[in-house]
């Protein structure tokens, strides 16, 4: 057998096998195993000892140098010692030392040291160093080293394709798919022509990751653009890759193309093809290929791998007699079965319970030689004992395995650890886990490739019990072996978050992203919140940036929290960048945070950046608290910046407070900057906003003193006379005026005269400096009366106080700080929402309407299987055994177009193993589907209900009614009864079952619950919706294109809502009122959404005109609901729309001309959960609840859903 064949043998078959062993044959099997006493092991060891040792020509100098390097840290002293050993190092010594050095980093130090000491590197030494770095995972260093070769060698060594090839292979082994692609692109752009080895390496990486389309493109580029002729190894890679990706027909196509390139298939080619056919269940065709190989190829014969593959194929189909025939045929052709052959046959025999035959194999009666059980055999037997519930026997077998010197591998430990976790014996599981970790068993080159998922239960236990670092050590060992599992990343990251080691969690997130896996929404949010709690806003910022690149958009409050922490820690530049990011992402700004950002920028001396940001804010419709900001600027003596800021506001058409302008103009005049003061004044004149300025006398004086007579005349012409000056003190007609009158003669007996009049009162108050203390005392009392007892505007109120103080030339003016203080004090009560001024503010939540139903709490639940969208295509094609390239390409396009990122599903590997007929076209499987769906639906509904009741805070005994919605369950009694029983509800609880309504069922449930709540005072209704796609799961068929839409769009989950009228104050927290509900169907559309229940499950069909039908009728339907609140503008509402798909949301947004953010909650639900049928509207409402919690949002909104009929369900909502 060729070396390649040998390696393929282990790769194809060196895996743990699972089978059930009847307890009656346990003892005989163990007796047979015990036959292999320690003497056999000693004989094997003796054989190894007697092997002739290979002679070594390594020089003593090289060994001494390497020993020195390995034992000491690198230092100048070490370099001196090396120099004394070899002042002039030869090429032979150099290469010998490099091979003996254990650490890649020290090897690199030695490489550089040799250069500094006169050693001239050639292409061989550069290549060797590159291989050492790449092989040991130092990939960033290796990449930098590769592109520094020409500089290091002064151009004498050029980058060759073999240099790139070795790094490509290293990237592939490390699972860094994207890095490999980048290197290939850099290689081409650098003028390095890829060779056949380059293309082979890249094709291997692409097909290993399932990138079949890209592999096609690379192959075409190889043959067309570069004219590189593929070799047999190229086709072996292509055939194996496409067969592994369930595209056997495509593998056959490449097999036929070999002759076009004069490539002869070898035994590996045939073995690869046979393996692909067997995996696709086409074992008899595979057998015929082997027979044809024997007939056609005289110089090529099937080998042990060929026959072992056939044996495995027949065993997988449980055609054990055919497997035994193939086995005997192999023996008759003079081929000796190897351990993998025997283990494969043992697995098949166990599955059909032919245990006597297993005894014969273990006893040496089958195959013509005694079979020595190996690690795989023991793994198989231990797993069978575990499956049979005989775990103690499995542990005995594990002990015997060690006694016989059979090395356990990762599969051995995973079998035992997983079963211990399932039994709840985590203490013993952790002991085995420690043994696995401490002995570095996962890093051994022997044994099967470890499966990360097998260790997830112990990872979960350790991470929940403060031992995440222990779990991560093993996980990193698994990563070094090139195995990956996205759920494991999440488990560890969440473990770090729980323990407060967020930086470690962030590093794992980066590893995950580098390996082209997308963390889910929850992982990102937990990390961000953790960094914010620890006061690490920069890391929170970086995490958010990566979250956005993963196409997740967190809640607006997350953005605000990060910005708040950045400001708190005085990160001025980062805060400015973050504001830009928020604006780019259409995230609503908070006026207080925006103002704080501007203050920090000005305070940090970043005035140019400050003006850029404020202009960006105003250009996008946002504002800052200009009075506060200018007050801050003035307080820091930056009146020129204040003048520029006010000028900016005037240019943009925004109103400015005239009193602030007074302060700035006066300040500039005192600074002897009258021209700047005049510039601001001139802009006020242009805007006709100068009439109430009280600083004009000072401005004119300053201009005259500065020799600017023309400007002074301009000001004089527009100065008010005495009567006009007095008018500044009074209000408009019809205003209740409060004027405080003081006389200079009454310095010691100051009085306040309250003048009540509906006509303007003309009076100017004078006060001397001697009366100032008494004046302020009186002012303090009267000023508060002014605010509380009248309806004067704050601007007029301030003018009254301000003018009163200015009228006497010798009086003391208000300081800038007092002015700004009063201004802000008066405006505080006028700021709501995001800080923008309104006519009035609601300082408390809106009161519920008596008798109207309200939503009191929500909850949700999902099955354990999380499916990232990028993994769906390969998994679906594999699980349904579909190898049609056109179907796969169509599904890939659909998965991208749905915008879905993650979904949950009840379907699992275990279910498909138990019910393989679910993936078989035409199988009558409704019974099996309901066996799975019925309990799963209730289980999810139970979890969602518990979460909802916990949020509500009430007792289950207070629930008076249950509304149960599902399109995934069929049985009598229905799931409503099972749910009520498992929750412990009263036996007189009112139950309503709503079956097979489809996507609008959630809104229908809300409508029904609303009616119950409003007609049964004091009632509390639990609404549950629960859905799974099990009923509709089936292999793809070109005659049913909607199957692919369902596979790309739908998910599983449950939701729950507590609904009641007249919430109990202090105990219940309503957030939404169900004001008015309407249901409507569109005549003649009953076939647009069509669902039929059959023996194969449920078959759905969607008409292509569905989005158009909705678009044509939705506006009228919405206006019917809006009219109940007297609303006409769609953008005056908030929108909770069932996200049936992106096309429906896009049509709705376009047709109703909705602002982009209006459907944000619906899009987020679709991205994170997919279309979960009736549940999805509750997920949308939960996102909406978070948005509305921040206040300042719209009072009225609509909840909409669409389903079979075509039926429209809508509810007019009122935010509380």
Reported as a pLDDT band with limits 50, 70 and 90, residue 878 is confident
Average pLDDT of every residue of the chain: 80
Question: 208 — phi, psi (to 5°)?
Answer: -65, -30
Condensed to tens digits (0 to 9), the pLDDT of residues 951-985 reads: 999 999 999 999 999 999 999 899 999 999 999 99
Condensed to tens digits (0 to 9), the pLDDT of residues 717-764 reads: 887 654 444 444 443 333 333 333 333 333 344 333 333 333 333 333
- Write down the pLDDT at residue 1005: 97
- Write down the pLDDT at residue 1212: 96
Please give the share of the chain, as a percent, with pLDDT higher than 90. Answer: 32
Residue 373's Cβ-count burial label (10 Å; 0-12, 13-18, 19+) is buried
Condensed to tens digits (0 to 9), the pLDDT of residues 15-25 reads: 332 333 333 33
- Write down the pLDDT at residue 1100: 66
For residues 832 and 540, which has the higher predicted lDDT (pLDDT)?
Answer: 540
Contacts of 189 (CB under 8 A, 6+ apart): none
- Write down the pLDDT at residue 771: 39
Residue in the block written with tokens 């520029």: 644
Please give the share of the chain, as a percent, with pLDDT higher than 70. Answer: 82
Instruction: Calculate mean pLDDT across residues 653-668.
Output: 81
- Write down the pLDDT at residue 33: 41
Q: Helix/strand/coil (H, E, C) string of 728-759? A: CCCCCCCCCCCCCCCCHHHCCCCCCCCCCCCC
For residues 637 and 330, which has the higher predicted lDDT (pLDDT)?
Answer: 330
* Closest-CA residue to 1173 (of 985, 911, 994): 994
Instruction: Calculate mean pLDDT across residues 1088-1109.
Output: 74
Reported as a pLDDT band with limits 50, 70 and 90, residue 819 is very low
Instruction: Calculate mean pLDDT across residues 375-381.
Output: 82
Reported as a pLDDT band with limits 50, 70 and 90, residue 446 is low
Reported as a pLDDT band with limits 50, 70 and 90, residue 635 is confident
Across 733-742, 925-934, 1195-1204, least confident range? 733-742
* Closest-CA residue to 768 (of 721, 733, 805, 717): 805
Instruction: Calculate mean pLDDT across residues 698-702.
Output: 88
Do the beta carbons of residue 136 and residue 145 sit within 8 Å? no
- Write down the pLDDT at residue 1055: 98
* Range 617-624, long-range pairs (CB < 8 A, 24+ positions): 617/579, 617/583, 617/589, 618/648, 618/652, 618/654, 620/583, 622/583, 622/589, 622/591, 622/594, 622/834, 623/591, 623/594, 623/654, 623/835, 623/836, 624/591, 624/594, 624/595, 624/598
Residue 305 is classified by DSSP as H
Question: 854 — phi, psi (to 5°)?
Answer: -130, 155
- Write down the pLDDT at residue 785: 33
For residues 52 and 563, which has the higher predicted lDDT (pLDDT)?
Answer: 563
Cα separation, 235 vs 200, in Å, equals 9
Quote the tokens at residue 419.
């079963």
Q: What is the pTM of this model?
A: 0.44
Reported as a pLDDT band with limits 50, 70 and 90, residue 542 is very high
Reported as a pLDDT band with limits 50, 70 and 90, residue 934 is very high
Cβ neighbours around 1095 below 10 Å, total: 10
- Write down the pLDDT at residue 1137: 96
- Write down the pLDDT at residue 856: 96
Residue 816 pLDDT exceeds 80: no
Condensed to tens digits (0 to 9), the pLDDT of residues 786-807 reads: 333 333 333 333 333 333 333 3
Reported as a pLDDT band with limits 50, 70 and 90, residue 845 is low
Instruction: Calculate mean pLDDT across residues 587-606.
Output: 92
Alpha-carbon torsion 1160, 1162, 1164, 1166, what sign? negative
- Write down the pLDDT at residue 831: 38
DSSP three-state, residue 534: coil
The angle subtended at Cα 150 by Cα 149 and Cα 153, nearest 5°, is 80
Cα separation, 101 vs 91, in Å, equals 16
Residue 1050 pLDDT exceeds 50: yes
Residues with a catalytic annotation lie at: 999
Cβ neighbours around 685 below 10 Å, total: 15
Across 152-166, 841-855, 987-1001, least confident range? 841-855
Cβ neighbours around 300 below 10 Å, total: 15
Cα separation, 1081 vs 1206, in Å, equals 6
- Write down the pLDDT at residue 643: 85
């Amino acid at each position: 057998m060729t070396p390649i064949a040998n390696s393929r043998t282990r790769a194809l078959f060196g895996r743990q096998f699972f089978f059930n062993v009847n307890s009656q044959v346990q003892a005989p099997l163990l007796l047979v195993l015990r036959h292999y006493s320690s003497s056999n092991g000693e004989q094997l060891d003796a054989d190894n000892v007697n092997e002739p040792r290979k002679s070594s020509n390594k020089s003593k100098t090289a060994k001494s140098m390497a020993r020195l390097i390995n034992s000491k840290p690198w230092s100048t002293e070490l370099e001196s010692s090396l120099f004394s050993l070899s002042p002039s190092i030869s090429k032979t010594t150099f290469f010998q030392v490099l091979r003996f050095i254990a650490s890649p980093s020290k090897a690199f130090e030695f490489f550089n040291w040799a250069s500094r000491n006169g050693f001239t590197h050639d292409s061989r030494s550069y290549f060797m160093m590159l291989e050492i770095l790449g092989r040991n995972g130092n990939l960033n260093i290796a990449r930098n080293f590769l592109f520094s070769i020409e500089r290091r060698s002064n151009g004498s060594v050029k980058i060759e394709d073999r240099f790139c090839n070795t790094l490509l292979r290293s990237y592939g082994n490390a699972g860094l798919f994207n890095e490999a692609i980048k290197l290939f692109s850099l290689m081409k752009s650098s003028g390095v022509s890829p060779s056949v080895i380059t293309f082979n390496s890249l094709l291997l990486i692409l097909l290993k990751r399932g990138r079949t389309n890209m592999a096609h493109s690379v192959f075409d580029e190889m043959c067309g653009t570069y004219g590189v002729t593929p070799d047999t190894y190229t086709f072996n890679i292509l055939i194996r890759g496409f067969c592994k990706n369930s595209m056997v027909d495509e593998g056959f196509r490449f097999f036929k193309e070999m002759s076009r390139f004069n490539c002869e298939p070898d035994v590996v080619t045939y073995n690869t093809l046979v393996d692909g056919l067997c995996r696709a269940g086409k074992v008899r065709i595979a057998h015929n290929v082997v027979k044809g190989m024997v007939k056609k190829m005289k110089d090529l014969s099937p080998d042990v791998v060929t026959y072992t593959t056939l044996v495995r194929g027949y065993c997988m189909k449980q055609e054990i007699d055919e497997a035994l025939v193939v086995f005997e045929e192999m023996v008759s052709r003079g081929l000796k079965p190897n351990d993998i052959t025997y283990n494969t046959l043992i697995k098949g025999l166990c599955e059909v319970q032919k245990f006597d035959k297993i005894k014969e194999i273990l006893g040496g009666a089958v195959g013509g030689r005694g079979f020595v059980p190996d690690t795989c055999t023991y793994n198989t037997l231990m797993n069978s004992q575990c499956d049979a519930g005989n775990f103690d026997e499995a542990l005995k077998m594990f002990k015997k395995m060690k006694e016989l010197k059979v090395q356990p591998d990762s599969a051995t430990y995973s079998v035992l650890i997983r079963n211990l976790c399932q039994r709840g014996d985590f203490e013993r599981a952790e002991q085995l886990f420690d043994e696995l970790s401490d002995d570095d068993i996962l890093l051994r080159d022997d044994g099967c490739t470890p499966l990360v998922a097998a260790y997830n239960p112990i990872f979960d236990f350790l991470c929940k019990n403060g031992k995440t670092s222990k779990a991560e050590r093993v996980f990193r060992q698994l990563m070094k072996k090139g195995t990956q599992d996205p759920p494991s990343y999440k488990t560890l990251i969440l473990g770090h978050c729980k323990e407060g080691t967020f930086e470690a969690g962030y590093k794992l997130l980066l590893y995950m992203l580098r390996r082209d896996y997308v963390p889910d929404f929850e992982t990102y949010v937990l990390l961000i919140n953790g960094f914010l709690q620890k006061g690490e806003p920069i890391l929170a910022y970086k995490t958010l940036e990566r979250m956005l690149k993963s196409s997740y958009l967190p809640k607006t409050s997350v953005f605000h929290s990060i910005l708040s922490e950045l400001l708190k820690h005085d990160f001025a530049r980062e805060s400015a960048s973050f504001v830009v990011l928020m604006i780019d992402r259409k995230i609503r700004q908070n006026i207080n945070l925006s103002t704080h950002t501007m203050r920090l920028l000005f305070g940090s001396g970043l005035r140019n950046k400050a003006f850029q940001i404020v202009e960006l804010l105003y250009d996008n419709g946002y504002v800052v608290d200009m009075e506060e900001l200018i007050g801050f600027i003035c307080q820091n003596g930056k009146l020129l910046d204040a003048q520029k800021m006010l000028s900016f506001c005037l240019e943009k058409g925004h109103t400015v407070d005239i009193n602030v302008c007074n302060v700035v103009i006066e300040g500039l005049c005192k600074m002897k900057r009258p021209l700047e003061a005049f510039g601001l004044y001139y802009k006020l004149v242009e805007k006709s906003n100068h009439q109430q300025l009280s600083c004009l006398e000072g401005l004119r004086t300053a201009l005259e003193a500065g020799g600017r007579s023309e400007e002074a005349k301009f000001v004089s012409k527009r100065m008010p006379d005495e009567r006009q000056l007095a008018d500044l003190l009074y209000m408009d007609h019809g205003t209740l005026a409060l004027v405080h009158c003081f006389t200079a003669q009454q310095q010691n007996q100051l009085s306040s005269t309250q003048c009540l009049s509906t006509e303007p009162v003309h009076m100017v108050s004078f006060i001397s400096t001697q009366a100032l203390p008494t004046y302020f005392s009186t002012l303090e009392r009267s000023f508060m009366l002014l605010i509380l007892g009248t309806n004067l505007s704050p601007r007029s109120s301030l003018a009254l106080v301000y003018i009163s103080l200015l009228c006497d030339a010798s009086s003391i003016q208000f300081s800038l700080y007092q002015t700004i203080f009063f201004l802000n004090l008066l405006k505080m009560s006028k700021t709501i929402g995001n800080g923008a001024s309104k006519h009035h503010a609601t300082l408390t939540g809106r009161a519920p309407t008596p008798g109207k139903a309200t939503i009191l709490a929500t909850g949700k639940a999902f099955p354990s299987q999380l499916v990232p969208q990028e993994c769906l295509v390969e998994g679906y094609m594999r699980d349904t055994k579909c190898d049609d390239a056109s179907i796969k390409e169509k599904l890939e396009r659909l998965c991208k177009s749905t915008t879905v990122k993650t979904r949950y599903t009840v379907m699992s590997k275990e279910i498909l193993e138990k019910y393989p007929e679910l993936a078989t076209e035409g199988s009558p499987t409704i019974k099996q589907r309901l066996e799975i769906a019925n309990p799963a639906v209730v289980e999810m509904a139970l979890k969602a209900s518990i979460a909802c009741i916990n949020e509500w805070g009430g007792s289950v005994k207070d629930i008076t009614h249950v509304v149960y919605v599902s399109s995934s369950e069929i049985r009598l009694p229905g799931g409503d009864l099972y749910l009520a029983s498992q929750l412990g509800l009263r036996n007189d609880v009112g139950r309503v079952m709503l079956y097979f309504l489809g996507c609008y069922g959630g809104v229908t449930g809300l409508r029904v619950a609303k009616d119950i709540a409003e007609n049964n005072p004091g009632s509390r209704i639990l609404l549950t919706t629960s859905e799974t796609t099990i009923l509709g799961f089936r292999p793809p068929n070109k005659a049913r294109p909607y199957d692919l839409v369902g596979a790309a769009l739908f998910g599983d989950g449950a939701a729950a809502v507590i609904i009641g009228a007249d919430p109990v104050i202090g105990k219940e927290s309503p957030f939404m009122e169900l004001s008015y509900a309407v249901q409507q169907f569109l005549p003649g559309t009953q076939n647009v959404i069509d669902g039929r229940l059959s023996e194969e499950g449920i078959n759905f069909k969607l008409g292509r005109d569905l989005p158009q039908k909705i678009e044509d009728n939705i506006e009228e339907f919405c206006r019917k609901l809006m009219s109940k609140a007297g609303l006409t503008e769609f953008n005056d509402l908030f929108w909770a729309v069932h996200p049936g798909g992106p096309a429906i949301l896009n049509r709705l947004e376009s047709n109703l001309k909705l602002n982009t953010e209006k459907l944000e909650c619906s899009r987020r639900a679709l991205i994170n959960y997919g279309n979960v049928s009736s549940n999805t509207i509750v997920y949308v409402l939960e996102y909406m609840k978070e948005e509305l919690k921040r206040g300042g949002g719209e009072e009225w909104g609509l909840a909409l859903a669409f389903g079979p009929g075509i039926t429209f369900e809508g509810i007019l909502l009122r935010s509380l």
